[in-house]
Amino acid sequence: MDLMGMMGKLKETQQKIEDTKKRLDTVLIDEQSADGLLKITLTANRKVKSISIDDSLLEDKEQLEDYLIVTLNKAIEKATSVNEKELDAVAKMDMPMIPGMDNLFK
């Protein structure tokens, strides 16, 4: 492949990655505590969209903090997984294999 062709392909792939990032802002990840008392929704880009807290959790600050930590971490883990899979798929689909460039879009 010629250098100009590769540069054009690189620009095209970068645009597809940016488009995918924008789309991931609309992909919602829902997570809740095991008992359903705390519910969190994030985008696949790991932005918190909503948190719902059952009134019973408001009586114990430490318990609420624990719930938030556990549930937020699970939600972030799920969102990160979706995000990475989507972006990896776009990058790998369109990129010519150039040695040393496989981590360029991470």
Beta-sheet pairing, 28-32 with 48-53? unpaired
Tell me the domain boundaries of the chain: 23-94
Given 3.40.50.2300, 3.40.462.40, 3.30.1310.10, 3.40.50.720, which CATH number is that of 23-94?
3.30.1310.10
pLDDT in tens, 22-49: 999 999 999 999 999 999 999 999 999 9
Beta-sheet pairing, 28-32 with 38-43? antiparallel
Q: Which two tokens stand for residue 59?
A: 């009586």
pTM tops 0.85: no
pLDDT in tens, 91-102: 777 655 555 555
Measured CA to CA, the distance from residue 67 to residue 105 in angstroms comes to 34
Residue 72 predicted with pLDDT over 90: yes
